[in-house]
Amino acid sequence: MIPGLEPVPLRELQALGTSKVWTVDGQLDEMPSLTPVRGTLKAEHLGNLLEVEGSVQTIVCLRCDRCLGRFNQQLNADSRELIWLGDEPSDDHLSEAGLDPTSPDGLMECLNPRGDFEPERWVFEQLSLQMSVVNRCGEHCPGLPQQASNPTAETNVDKAPDPRWQALKDLQTSMQRNGKHHD
């Protein structure tokens, strides 16, 4: 739990009449990180919308899916989001609020106006979005871990004499023999 990021009733944010600002500095229970999650977060009640803006950073330790080695990754979330306060908004509602329902950063979330805004959950969601689906330690990934002491058919082939070399050796031996004979 990050200190100071307790859920706030939306009505309290509305009564404030201005934006509320949080300083983020602490560990998220759902996302263990090497360094504390740090940054700022701001929320403003706009009637039927809540505007949330934040910038948070942290460093997490991940395991590479390929070489299984551990590596550190920095996560930077810089986001601004509009949350609809009420039931799922219709296109008409959005137009009334001066928003374009077809815009790509359209509304993704809605909250009950009588409910709470959870700043910590918001921070967690924004950082989670920065995580890649596949973890790769980087350009210098050594690749799949080597399986030691596992003799494969391939190594046996390498040790076996190549029949072509054997034929050449035989020829060489016979030529040497012939040469000696002539002396």
Task: Report the residue from 8, 31, 64, 110 that binds Zn ion according to the rule CB under 5 A.
Answer: 64
20 near Zn ion, judged by CB under 5 A: no
CA–CA gap between residue 175 and residue 183 (Å, rounded)? 13
Strands 70-85, 109-111: parallel, antiparallel or unpaired by DSSP?
parallel
Site residues (CB under 5 A) for Zn ion, limited to 135-164: 137, 141
Instruction: Give the interface segment with Zn ion, choosing from 4-12, 32-40, 91-99, 130-138 (CB under 5 A).
Output: 130-138
Which CB sits closer to Zn ion, 108 or 134? 134
31 near Zn ion, judged by CB under 5 A: no
Which of 43, 54, 5 lies closest to 26, judged by CA? 5
Residue type, 41: L
Which CB sits closer to Zn ion, 46 or 62? 62
Which CB sits closer to Zn ion, 68 or 168? 68
Burial class, 152, CB count within 10 angstroms (exposed 0-12 / middle 13-18 / buried 19+): exposed
Which of 112, 113, 42, 118 lies closest to 81, judged by CA? 42
Instruction: Give the interface segment with Zn ion, choosing from 22-30, 46-54, 62-70, 145-153 (CB under 5 A).
Output: 62-70
Q: Point out which residues bind Zn ion (CB under 5 A).
A: 64, 66-67, 137, 141
